[in-house]
Structure 1
Amino acid sequence: MRELSILKPLVRLEQVAALDPVVRNVQKVVLSLLKPRAVEDVLHGVPAGHPLHPALILLPAGSWIGAAVLDLVPGTERAARVLVAAGVLGAAPAIAAGWADWARSGREQQRVGIVHAVANETAWTLYAASWLARRTGREGLGKALGFTAFGLVGFGGYLGGHLGYRQAVGANHAEGVLTRFPEGWHPLGALVDLPDGAAARYDVAGEGLFVLRRGHDVHVLADVSTHMGETLHDGVLGETKRGTATVETTRGSVFEVESGEVVHGPATAPAIRFETRAAGGLVEVRLHRP
């Protein structure tokens, strides 16, 4: 079945460069507010191991769906008003998490995301006005505002689906390495030929690998970030407080090189790690499978 033609202008939002000035200005504001870094990590969902925003939207979306149903049933005005209020209050953390993810995504995702945010936050404003109208006895106005907002939530939800499923915001962009890389040990190169203290990229079995040698220790990760697929070998090297090496990608994700674990988001899944061994001066690698 072919995609509905009415949807094509919506999915083409990612190519609308005219949105870029707005995107750049809003991104600066959002990044300036996302401090300290630990707060941003929570909003991305680093402690949870996957993005937090999709889970947080369940409360406002569910509440507003319930309110829309009850608005069609006589005698349920009070219950509908409670659900509208629950959605308005519950949307706050979802909005914050959404902006955090948006600020660290790619330009094409940000173009769609800015329209997604405008639709949803206009809906939030209308729902707040709907609650006020209901609270003061203007049920008809409250319902009209609620159904208008519900339509915007549906439109915003469609764009959210496009962001998540077609543009893969929040998805693990490195997962395919686990299925592509062949089993067993594979030669990487002579230990003495690996640059000491500097990151490098090597291709092994058709897969790009991030390699960092520190003396006799060689650490290897898949050369692809789990966040948006950025390469790791051209990232910025650093250290944790424990002295272990880290690498920071262009979009701000920080991975511990030895373990692949996420130090800072927006990445929520750890980098794909490889085991290493040296035999006769030759370093070999094997995909680490937990």
Structure 2
Amino acid sequence: MLRQMISRLEKASALDAVSDRLQSAVQNVVKPQRLRDVLHGTWLGHPLHPVLVQVPVGAFMSAAVMDALPGQRRAATTLIAVGTASTAPAIAAGLVDWSSLRPDQRRVGLVHAAANSIALGLYVGSLAARFSGRHGWGRVLAYAGLSVAGSGAYLGGHLSYQQGAGVNVASSELFNLPDDWAEVGQVSALPEGRPTVRTIGGVRVLLYRLGDEVTAMVEECGHQRGPLGEGEVEGSGADACIVCPWHGSTFRLRDGAAMHGPATGDQPTLRTRIRNGVLSVATP
């Protein structure tokens, strides 16, 4: 029954009106690329949101333990205050990540955010009750908040592990490539300083020739499988980057390094070998 409910949620297009408006608002508010990269976690090489949520989750879980022990009112109140205050950066990072997802993922993410917002409201109410001396009511609200947050966490897990949000989806393409060297063709046939696409073992590979050196990377963007081969090139030479036409993730062509998000991980690259003017590639 639970799986059926999640499946219906993924297909609940009625949520798209709210989702689209919120997506537009987030993208309009968080416009600077540097800020978006910080919140995505591009600088970290890993999504930042899962890291940030550890603080409020840890604080709220610890507060639940303190509330169950005698004489720990002050400790529980302090922990809830810390958890409530630390939600702000986690929310910001989560919203920026959410705004670059596909529609079915955004539907689940919207309900995930709504559940966490309700949980946060319950914790704020718990703090207010504790500060006014109603500690019993404060404990009730805190445990209710933890229960609702648990539902939100379930949806977050589904979003990440079942729907693949935040996962470098290009990495799995490496398993479809030949284990041994696969011949691509004459290096001279590749344009200088301009990426081109070849299909190897059913996998589209982006090639970039710079002088006598050629870089090969998986052509599907690791963020949401966007076609990098259709993207624009920024810069030139060793600093040239390819920009995904779907969400703007930017990768350096010579080594696949992620320069701008929403992608956080580097684009998977292949080994290259040139013998007698013939290029071959192999898995890392």
Counterpart mapping for 1:169-180 below 5 A: 169-180=165-176
TM-fit CA distance, 1:93: 1.3
Normalised to the residue count of structure 1, the TM-score between the two structures is 0.89
Pick the aligned partner of 2:47 from 51, 71, 74: 51
* Pairing 1:22–2:18 present: yes
* Pairing 1:107–2:89 present: no
Normalised to the residue count of structure 2, the TM-score between the two structures is 0.90
SS in 1 for 2:216: strand
Amino acid at match of 2:152: G
Mapped partners of 1:118, 1:27: distance in 2: 14
Q: Tell me: CA distance 1:282–1:243, structure 2 relative to 1, closer, same or farther (3 Å).
A: closer
TM-fit CA distance, 1:215: 6.4
Query: Could you tell me which residue of structure 1 aligns to residue 233 of structure 2?
Result: 237
Pick the aligned partner of 1:266 from 262, 267, 278: 262
TM-fit CA distance, 1:251: 1.7
Amino acid at match of 1:253: S
Query: Could you tell me which residue of structure 2 aligns to residue 144 of structure 1?
Result: 140
Amino acid at match of 2:185: G
Query: Could you tell me which residue of structure 2 aligns to residue 284 of structure 1?
Result: 280
Query: Could you tell me which residue of structure 2 aligns to residue 40 of structure 1?
Result: 36
Amino acid at match of 1:163: L
Amino acid at match of 2:80: V
Mapped partners of 2:72, 2:187: distance in 1: 73
Q: Tell me: CA distance 1:207–1:10, structure 2 relative to 1, closer, same or farther (3 Å).
A: closer
Pick the aligned partner of 1:76 from 53, 72, 75: 72
Pick the aligned partner of 1:246 from 217, 241, 246: 241
Amino acid at match of 1:181: L
Amino acid at match of 2:58: G
TM-fit CA distance, 1:7: 4.1
Query: Could you tell me which residue of structure 2 aligns to residue 130 of structure 1?
Result: 126
Amino acid at match of 1:244: D
TM-fit CA distance, 1:214: 5.5
Stretches of structure 2 lacking an aligned partner (at least 5 in a row): none
Pick the aligned partner of 2:177 from 172, 175, 181: 181
The answer as to whether partners of 1:127 and 1:149 remain within 8 angstroms in 2 is: yes
Stretches of structure 1 lacking an aligned partner (at least 5 in a row): none
- How many equivalent residue pairs? 283
* Pairing 1:62–2:52 present: no
Mapped partners of 2:189, 2:176: distance in 1: 26
Q: Which moved more, 1:165-174 or 1:266-275?
A: 266-275
* Pairing 1:159–2:155 present: yes
SS in 2 for 1:233: helix
TM-fit CA distance, 1:219: 3.2
Amino acid at match of 1:175: S
Query: Could you tell me which residue of structure 2 aligns to residue 97 of structure 1?
Result: 93
Structure 1, residues 172-192: CA drift from partner, whole Å, max 9, x if none?
212223333223432212345
The answer as to whether partners of 2:176 and 2:201 remain within 8 angstroms in 1 is: no
Q: Tell me: CA distance 1:180–1:7, structure 2 relative to 1, closer, same or farther (3 Å).
A: closer
Backbone CA RMSD of aligned residues: 2.2
Amino acid at match of 2:206: F
SS in 1 for 2:230: coil
SS in 1 for 2:111: helix
